[in-house]
């Protein structure tokens, strides 16, 4: 790891740090040290970065803002890759907006509003980056970002870049057919001409619902589990009377039973224990095997 760190320290277009607390890279504010965190600031830097990681056989994971991640207390033995300045660009052309994968989703959403373009309202209020949102196909159960995509450019380490047209990709509720070993670099969204008032009204409706139903101000990862089919996971968890259930400093939110919040100083093992309890209770009461929406980083197996 030391050799990789040294090589990356002198790699153009890359900035690297060692022993970085994952708590500082995730919205949960939880997680032990990652051996390395490397930011690729340029396309060329990204390619060089992966050359080093491959040569030194360092495992890697790409992260945006870590808003959908629970990182282990032991941290991550490998390199967390993030996208920097060259991937933080937005460009508007007619009714399309192109955005680098490192752009904050909120910035993209605001851009669509100021340009009076409709199609990204479902992303209002969702934290994270464009890359993370595309990887997760972020949105709600019924609408998601993938529907607005015209094309996506990805990079497969050791192979190269690839442009997918909308017709090459399938999207669904928190899934996409974009291969999970490819890094999303940028995307173009095909939007519809609208008015600022109409776009704002649709965004505000979703923001108001979010404010009314979700915990605010406490570190979390959003929804822990996906809704199974047409059923509401929140209702099932409430049926199990799990609101307020806690282990250590991790608790099921009083406002939304599918949110597990960090009450301050929670450990990943606390959150995991709460999640496992939720899963077990729903399995027992409803016979449903819930699928996590949150991604786990640095856990064994």
Ligand X SMILES: Cc1cc2nc3c(=O)[nH]c(=O)nc-3n(C[C@H](O)[C@H](O)[C@H](O)COP(=O)(O)OP(=O)(O)OC[C@H]3O[C@@H](n4cnc5c(N)ncnc54)[C@H](O)[C@@H]3O)c2cc1C
Q: Catalytic amino acids?
A: 174, 223, 293
Q: With contact defined as beta carbons under 8 Å apart, do 189 and 97 qualify?
A: yes
Burial 52-89 (b: 16+ CB within 10 A, else e): bbeebebebebbbbbbbbbbbbebbebbbbbbbebbbe
Is 33 a binder of ligand X (CB under 6 A)? no
Closest CB to ligand X among residues 65, 267: 65
Could you tell me how many residues of this chain bind ligand X (CB under 6 A)?
Answer: 29
Name the residue with the smallest CB distance to ligand X.
64
Per the structure block, which two tokens stand in for 100? 């680098």
Closest CB to ligand X among residues 68, 281: 68
Among 147, 150, 277, 295, binds ligand X (CB under 6 A): 295
Min separation Cβ 104 and ligand X, Å: 8
Break the chain down into helix, strand, coil percent, rounded to 5: 35, 30, 40
Q: Where do runs of H (alpha helix) occur along 168-266?
A: 196-213, 233-239
Min separation Cβ 117 and ligand X, Å: 20
Among 131, 146, 157, 298, binds ligand X (CB under 6 A): 131
State the chain's maximal CA–CA distance in angstroms: 56
Min separation Cβ 221 and ligand X, Å: 5
Closest CB to ligand X among residues 80, 199: 80
Separation between Cα atoms, residue 255 and residue 264, nearest integer Å: 17
Contact pattern from residue 58 through residue 77 relative to ligand X, giving x for each residue in contact according to CB under 6 A and a dash for the rest: ---xxxxxxxxx--------
Min separation Cβ 94 and ligand X, Å: 25
Is 129 a binder of ligand X (CB under 6 A)? yes
Among 135, 176, 194, 281, binds ligand X (CB under 6 A): 135
- How many other β-carbons are positioned within 10 Å of the β-carbon of residue 171? 19
- Half-sphere exposure in the Cβ direction for 73 (13 Å, CA): 8
- How many other β-carbons are positioned within 10 Å of the β-carbon of residue 209? 12
DSSP strand pairing (33-40 vs 76-83): parallel
Interface positions with ligand X (CB under 6 A) = 27, 61-69, 83, 101, 126-129, 131-133, 135-136, 138-139, 183-184, 220-222, 295
């Amino acid at each position: 790891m030391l050799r990789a760190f040294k090589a990356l320290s002198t790699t153009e277009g890359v900035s690297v740090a060692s022993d970085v607390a994952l708590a500082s890279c995730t919205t949960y504010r939880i997680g032990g040290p990652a051996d390395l965190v490397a930011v690729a600031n340029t396309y060329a830097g990204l390619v060089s970065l992966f050359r080093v990681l491959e040569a030194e056989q360092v495992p890697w994971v790409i992260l945006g803002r870590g808003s959908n991640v629970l990182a282990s207390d032991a941290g991550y033995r490998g390199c967390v890759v993030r996208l920097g300045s060259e991937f933080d660009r937005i460009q508007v052309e007619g009714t399309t907006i192109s955005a680098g994968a490192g752009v904050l989703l909120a910035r993209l959403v605001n851009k669509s509003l100021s340009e009076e373009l409709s199609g990204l309202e479902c992303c209002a209020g969702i934290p994270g980056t464009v890359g993370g949102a595309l990887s997760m196909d972020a949105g709600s159960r019924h609408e998601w970002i993938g529907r607005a995509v015209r094309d996506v450019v990805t990079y497969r380490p050791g192979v190269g870049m690839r442009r997918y047209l909308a017709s090459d990709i399938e999207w669904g509720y928190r899934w996409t057919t974009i291969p999970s070993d490819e890094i999303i670099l940028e995307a173009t969204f095909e939007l519809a001409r609208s008015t600022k008032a109409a776009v704002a009204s649709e965004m505000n409706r979703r923001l108001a619902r979010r404010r009314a139903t979700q915990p605010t101000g406490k570190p979390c990862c959003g929804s822990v589990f996906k809704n199974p089919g047409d059923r509401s996971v929140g209702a099932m968890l409430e049926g199990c009377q799990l609101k307020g259930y806690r282990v250590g400093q991790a608790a099921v939110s009083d406002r939304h039973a599918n949110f597990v919040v960090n009450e301050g100083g929670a450990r990943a093992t606390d959150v995991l224990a709460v999640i496992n309890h939720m899963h077990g209770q729903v399995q027992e009461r409803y016979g449903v095997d819930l699928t996590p929406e949150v991604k786990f980083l640095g856990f064994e197996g």
